[in-house]
Structure 1
Amino acid sequence: MTATGNTAVVLRFFERFAAGDAQAALTLLDEQAVWWVSGKPDQYPSAGPHGKDEVLQMLGRVGQARPNGVEIEVTYTTAQDDRVVAEVASRGVSAAGKVYDQRLVFVFQLRDSRIHRIREYLDTLHANDVLVAS
């Protein structure tokens, strides 16, 4: 697939998440997909690698921490060959009323029009403070 086609897959992925349909977003991942989240697991529980079967559980925990949903805005993408990099703004309010205002960078690797790898870089201190410690 072309870089443009791969970017379209990634944008569909975020559109589905923004619409609150994580299940539909995950249909764009291949069966061996791994989603890696930056940070140290002893300091931020979502940090580390997650297989496709674990991703829904991880996202469920994040969803519980933000019961009123989350706003997702893809602010920039760039692509080359099988990789797409997306800068994303994510906003919401935690169950405890704390404001979540995060800037993230995702690096996607695609294979045969499906997402094979995701590397997510974020401010884990802010995420832990708002989503975990609330």
Structure 2
Amino acid sequence: MNTDIDAERNKQVAIEFYRRFDAGDIPGVLDTMADDATFWIAGKPGSNPSVGTHSKAEMATMFHRIMKQMRGGLKMTVKGVTAEGERVALEVESYGELHNGRVYNQEYHALMTVRDGRIAAVREYMDTQHVAAVWFAPA
């Protein structure tokens, strides 16, 4: 087993997740994830509906809901990637305008675990106050 080659393959799987999201291809995004994948989003429990641990099915619902609210999709730019074995760390920036006129411009750190060519787990860190202000604040 060549861990450098494995780490490079895992980086490509993680990057593909964001490429597909950038293209608005939610079925493709979900295809990069294992069926039993978990997706944890940082934040104080109860502060907004997105925080906590979610199943792949729950994330599918969330991803579709996000895209329906966007005017022209959500641009995802991978700014940096580091991998060691099955763990891939990414710095990502998103940008998009919602139909209500608000702008979602977020910086993320995602730590992904990739097994057998699919994403098994994600731990995502971001500015949760920006999430609340853009997605959940009254109009």
TM-score (norm 1): 0.94
Structure 1: runs of 5+ lacking an equivalent: none
Structure 1 residue 68: Cα displacement: 2.5
1:65/1:132 contact within 8 Å kept: no
Matched, 1:130 2:134: yes
Which of 26, 29, 35 is residue 25 of structure 1 equivalent to?
Answer: 29
Structure 1 residue 65: Cα displacement: 2.9
User: Which residue pairs with 1:119 in the alignment?
Assistant: 123
TM-score (norm 2): 0.90
Which of 70, 74, 84 is residue 66 of structure 1 equivalent to?
Answer: 70
User: Which residue pairs with 1:42 in the alignment?
Assistant: 46
Structure 1 residue 60: Cα displacement: 2.0
Structure 2: runs of 5+ lacking an equivalent: none
* Corresponding letter in the other structure for 2:30: L
Structure 1 residue 95: Cα displacement: 2.1
Q: Which has the larger radius of gyration?
A: 2
Aligned residues: 134
RMSD across aligned positions (CA): 1.3
* Corresponding letter in the other structure for 1:86: L
Structure 1 residue 47: Cα displacement: 0.6
Identity, % of aligned pairs?
Answer: 37
The superposition leaves residues 63-84 of structure 1 with CA deviations (integer Å, 9 ceiling, x where unpaired) of 2332321111000000001000
More deviation, 116-125/63-72 = 63-72
The superposition leaves residues 19-56 of structure 1 with CA deviations (integer Å, 9 ceiling, x where unpaired) of 00011111111111001111124212111111111111
